[in-house]
Amino acid sequence: LNQEMMNLYKREKVNPLGGCLPMLLQMPIWIALYRTIYSSAELYQAPMGLWIHDLSAPDPFFVMPLLLGGLMFLQQKMTPTATDSQQAKMMLYLMPVMFTVFMLFLPAGLNLYILVNTMLSLLQQYYLKRKFTAPALPAARGA
């Protein structure tokens, strides 16, 4: 069954790690940024604006983590799935909720970085989906 699944991936040119691999590649950057934010004296109590008065402290009103969770849900909704429906549902609901919970207690600077990165990824995905979607065929007349 797994061999047939891999043959299907090859035949349809689908990368089985397409959804998770980009996030895994970013993990070292996130860890380094997390450590930098916590150890940098320049970022301690550095105001960013609006409600964020310290980039090294968690978001006091949880705006960015909740926004990140919503954008990640939207991104998962836009991503075509090559997996079974049960796994697709898990990725659709579990990943955004898990990231939201993780981000509730991490520094606002890291939250901001991941939020902006997710926004840019979402815009890129929307642009590519719109650019490469086949135009709808006109309805048949006089049928």
**What distance in Å separates the CA atoms of residue 27 and residue 82, rounded to the nearest whole number?**
24
Phi and psi for 107 in degrees, rounded to 5?
Answer: -60, 150
Most confidently modeled range among 18-32, 88-102, 103-117? 103-117
pTM over 0.95: no
Q: Vertex 29, ends 106 and 18: CA angle to 5°?
A: 105
**What distance in Å separates the CA atoms of residue 86 and residue 28, rounded to the nearest whole number?**
29
pLDDT digits (tens, 9 = 90+) for 35-80: 888 787 777 777 777 888 888 888 889 999 999 999 989 988 887 6
